[in-house]
């Protein structure tokens, strides 16, 4: 069972400059909430209560203003500063002490997930005991993504990064689940030509041991990468359309915590005071 999660929220967000010169990308708004709420909500929906957020050096105070330590959500949040991006597996080296001998989930801080059956999928994923599991999503332009070829329902037999020839239409998203060997395997990796540790190399370690598995967001679900200005605002428009049409909020972290019975109505009242007079507070008020 996976009870710990890491959000990789470092990086300089150069594709969104000059917006990201003063503010970390994960603190910019996706419609009415900071981007960081969305990956955090995915871990919370997975019933993960111990969370490490990896951020850029010098940005700790910015994050603590909106997410101090997680007590208000019934969870535990700790931060680790990263001098500069060294590749996704570096998250496990930075988080070695946090991970200890436990299994762990990793989600990229700029990835957005949505789906009617997503919660069920997440709860299945965190049951992982041995090996690694990645969340896959069917895409229309596979040449733009890292792809996985699957045998049967969920055994990954091959991985390729942005292949020129058709290989598969199942893209590897930014949500991963690993057993306790992830730290050991990450230490064995060597930097690629671009000077970073590659997540593909880490996944291939598990594949060679025939311990790399897949799960799926499913038809009707959405996976969006908010790395560019265009994608950032497309995601914001998507959230706005869903929320305004259906009347509920995507990634309302207090609502998830309340539904998980990690907090009480008293915590919701405190959250309303914290956020002040705004639409988000109006929504929280409806919960109680």
pLDDT tens profile 178-227: 999 999 999 999 999 888 999 999 999 999 999 999 999 987 889 998 88
**Per-residue pLDDT tens over the stretch 217-265:** 987 889 998 888 888 999 999 999 999 999 999 999 999 999 999 999 9
**Does some domain include residue 274?**
no
Question: Per the domain annotation, does 252 fall within a domain?
Answer: no
Within a domain: residue 264? no
Structural domain boundaries, residue 156: 4-226
pLDDT > 80? residue 14: no
Residue 146 located in a structural domain: yes
Cα 216 to chain centroid, rounded: 15
Instruction: Extract the tokens encoding 284.
Output: 């929280």
In sequence order, the 6+-apart residues with CB closer than 8 A to the CB of 201 are 89, 189, 192
Torsion of CA 170, 249, 236, 178, to 10 degrees: -40
Q: How confident is the model at residue 23 (pLDDT cuts 50, 70, 90)?
A: confident
- 253 within domain boundaries: no
* Residue 249 located in a structural domain: no
- Is 138 within the bounds of a domain? yes
Q: How confident is the model at residue 16 (pLDDT cuts 50, 70, 90)?
A: confident
Q: Alpha helices of the chain — where are they, by DSSP H?
A: 37-45, 60-66, 90-94, 96-99, 118-125, 182-187, 199-208, 229-246, 253-259, 265-275, 279-287
Please give the model's pTM, rounded to 2 decimal places: 0.95
Cα(16)–Cα(20) distance, integer angstroms:
6
- Between 15 and 285, the higher pLDDT residue: 285
CATH code, domain carrying 116 = 3.90.550.10
pLDDT at 20 over 80: no
In whole angstroms, what is the distance from residue 155 CA to residue 90 CA? 25
Q: Is residue 277 part of a domain?
A: no
Question: What is the rounded end-to-end Cα distance, in angstroms, of the chain?
Answer: 32
C-alpha 205, offset from chain centre: 22
**CA atoms of 12 and 20, how far apart (whole Å):** 7
Total domains, the chain: 1
């Amino acid at each position: 069972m996976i009870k710990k999660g890491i959000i990789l929220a470092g990086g300089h967000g150069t594709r969104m400059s000059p917006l990201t010169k003063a503010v970390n990308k994960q603190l910019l708004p996706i419609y009415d909430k900071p981007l960081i709420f969305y990956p955090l909500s995915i871990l919370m929906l997975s019933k993960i209560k111990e969370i490490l957020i990896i951020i850029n050096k010098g940005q700790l105070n910015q994050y603590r203003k909106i997410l101090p330590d997680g007590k208000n959500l019934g969870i535990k949040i700790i931060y680790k500063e990263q001098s500069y991006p060294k590749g996704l597996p570096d998250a496990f080296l930075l988080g070695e002490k946090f991970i200890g001998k436990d299994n762990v989930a990793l989600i990229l801080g700029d990835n957005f997930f949505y789906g009617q059956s997503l919660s069920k999928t997440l709860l299945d994923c965190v049951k992982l005991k041995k090996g690694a599991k990645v969340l896959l999503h069917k895409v229309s332009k596979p040449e733009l993504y890292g792809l996985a070829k699957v045998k049967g329902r969920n055994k990954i037999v091959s991985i390729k990064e942005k292949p020129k020839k058709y290989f598969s239409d199942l893209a590897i998203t930014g949500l991963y689940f690993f057993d306790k060997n992830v730290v050991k395997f990450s230490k064995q990796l060597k930097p690629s030509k671009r000077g970073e540790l590659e997540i593909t190399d880490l996944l291939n370690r598990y594949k060679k041991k025939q311990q790399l598995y897949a799960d799926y967001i499913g038809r009707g679900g959405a996976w969006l990468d908010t790395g560019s200005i265009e994608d950032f605002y497309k995601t914001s428009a998507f959230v706005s359309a869903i929320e305004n049409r259906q009347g509920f909020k995507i990634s309302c972290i207090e609502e998830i915590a309340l539904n998980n019975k990690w907090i009480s109505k008293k915590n919701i009242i405190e959250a309303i005071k914290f956020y002040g007079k705004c639409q988000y507070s109006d929504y929280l008020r409806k919960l109680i």
